[in-house]
């Protein structure tokens, strides 16, 4: 009988190994900068989360009851747990708070997807840190991604507060329809709606908005189109300029048409994707509004990436540790483990086979993806690719 329900799956093998390597590298990048590991609860009270999520995410909640009969939802958003933790455990004067995590989230799938669960890695910074927080978080994210053996990464940078201000200049009834077209990518419908817009200070801006993508020049063009509300671009200009000084200018694409859940995000936002193939890994941004819903005043910025998607797009390493199947062959466990430790110190990956009788140990080693077979009884190591066999002492240079 199959244990795993539809919409869920186990991850093992090379993909799981790559995901674990990515997790370790992520923590090694963020923890030295004061980010602390965070493990959120798997259940979130339904009455506490519904008013803090966008309508889109509310419709995707997977509802369950706790053991005590409380209506709950499986964790759909780690950021909610971060905000709740900071609100309930710290006083305002103790900020900033920096947290990082690797966790599953559970959501009803949207067609054509089928999976209900997704593994994310992410980081959050809560305080009153201004544009410095945005630069720090995006800079660390790019530093992490640039360490990896993966396709070139790009970060699309926008600002939802700018969109909010511009939409507020339109006659009532137009803003929600235009916003929906931007969110869903219905650009043909968007173009028709813009043509029907009555004259206003921001009509030219909305006409050009889908093409306001590129480098720093886009920000100057948008400033001229927006007139008096062009001042709202100052934070984005500052973030872009500072990231460029840090050497990340080639990775940043300004995209002023980038929108995401205006009732959740409240300022600069960004998407992370593989440039050549267009695969979106995740994104983030400012979510000051969410803090307010937790009774906290201040600023917050964070992001989440799809860990499995990142792992699946990693290029294979040119070199990786050779794997050894160590056949214990009835030898004392202490001496077997001592031999394994010596090999691991030399950079090998060692898997121990404890049972004494094995019909085809070399074949088993190949099935398990090993490069070498070490037979402790014969004191020999066999190269499973060439078939060459040498004594252990010669192999170890004793």
Tens-place pLDDT, residues 88-120: 999 988 999 999 999 999 999 988 889 999 999
* Tokens describing residue 376: 């402790």
Q: What is the pLDDT of residue 1?
A: 67
With 0-12 / 13-18 / 19 or more C-beta atoms within 10 angstroms meaning exposed / middle / buried, residue 277 is exposed
Please give the residue that has the higher pLDDT: either 263 or 268: 268
What is the overall mean pLDDT for the chain?
A: 90
Q: Please state which CATH number belongs to domain 11-149+280-318.
A: 3.30.930.10
Residue 361 is predicted with a pLDDT of: 87
What is 152-276's CATH number? 3.30.930.10
- 209-257 confidence digits (pLDDT tens): 999 999 989 999 999 998 888 888 999 999 999 999 999 999 999 999 9
Using an 8 Å Cβ cutoff, are 299 and 128 in contact? yes
Nearest to 328 by CA among 359, 352, 364: 352
CB 105 within 8 A of CB 306: no
| pLDDT for the residue numbered 237 | 94
pTM, 2 dp: 0.89
Non-local CB neighbours of 384 within 8 Å, separated by 6+ positions: 362, 365, 366, 370, 371, 372, 373
Q: What pLDDT band is residue 315 in, cutting at 50, 70 and 90?
A: confident
The rounded percent of the chain whose pLDDT value lies above 70 is: 99
In this structure, whether the domain defined by 323-396 belongs to CATH 3.30.70.20 is answered with no
Provide the residue ranges of all domains of the chain, joining segments of one domain with +: 11-149+280-318, 152-276, 323-396
What tens digit of pLDDT does each residue of 113-156 get?
Answer: 899 999 999 999 999 888 899 999 999 999 999 999 888 899 99
- Rounded to 10°, the helix 175-184/187-195 angle is 160
Answer yes or no: same fold for 11-149+280-318 and 323-396: no
pLDDT computed for residue 318 by the predictor:
61
The residue among 147, 305, 176, 161 whose CA lies nearest residue 226 is 161
Structure tokens at 397: 């240079």
User: Sorting pLDDT into bands at 50, 70 and 90, what band is 28?
Assistant: very high
């Amino acid at each position: 009988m199959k244990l795993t329900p539809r919409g869920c799956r186990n991850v093992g093998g090379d993909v799981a190994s790559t995901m674990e390597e990515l997790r370790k590298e992520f923590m090694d990048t963020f923890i030295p900068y004061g980010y602390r590991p965070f493990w959120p609860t798997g259940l979130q009270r339904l009455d506490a989360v519904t008013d803090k999520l966008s309508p889109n995410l509310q419709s995707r909640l997977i509802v369950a009851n706790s053991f005590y009969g409380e209506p709950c939802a499986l964790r759909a958003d780690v950021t909610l747990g971060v905000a709740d933790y900071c609100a309930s455990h710290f006083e305002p004067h103790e900020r900033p708070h920096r947290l990082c995590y690797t966790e599953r989230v559970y959501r009803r799938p949207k067609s054509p997807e089928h999976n209900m669960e997704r593994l994310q890695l992410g980081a959050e910074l809560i305080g009153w840190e201004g544009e410095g927080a945005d630069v720090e978080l995006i800079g660390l994210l790019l530093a992490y991604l640039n360490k990896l053996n993966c396709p070139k990464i790009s970060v699309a940078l926008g600002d939802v507060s700018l969109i909010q201000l511009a939409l507020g200049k339109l006659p009532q009834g137009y803003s929600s329809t235009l916003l929906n077209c931007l969110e869903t990518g219905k650009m043909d419908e968007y173009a028709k709606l813009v043509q029907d817009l009555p004259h206003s200070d921001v009509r030219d801006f909305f006409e050009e908005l889908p093409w306001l993508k590129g480098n720093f020049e886009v920000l100057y063009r948008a400033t001229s189109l927006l007139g008096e509300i062009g001042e709202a671009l100052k934070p984005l200009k500052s973030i872009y300029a500072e990231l460029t000084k840090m050497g990340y200018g080639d990775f940043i694409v300004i995209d002023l048409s980038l929108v995401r859940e205006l009732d959740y995000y409240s300022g600069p936002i960004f998407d992370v994707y593989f440039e050549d193939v267009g695969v979106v890994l995740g994104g983030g941004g400012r979510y000051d509004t969410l803090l307010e819903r937790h009774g906290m005043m201040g600023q917050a910025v964070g992001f989440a990436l799809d860990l499995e998607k990142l792992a699946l797009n990693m290029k294979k390493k040119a070199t990786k540790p050779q794997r050894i199947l160590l056949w214990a062959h009835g030898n004392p466990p202490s001496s077997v483990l001592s031999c394994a430790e010596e090999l691991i110190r030399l950079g090998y990956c060692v898997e121990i086979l404890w049972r004494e009788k094995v019909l085809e140990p070399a074949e088993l080693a190949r099935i398990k993806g090993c490069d070498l077979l070490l037979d402790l009884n014969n004191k020999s190591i066999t190269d499973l690719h060439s078939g060459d066999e040498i004594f252990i002492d010669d192999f170890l240079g004793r």
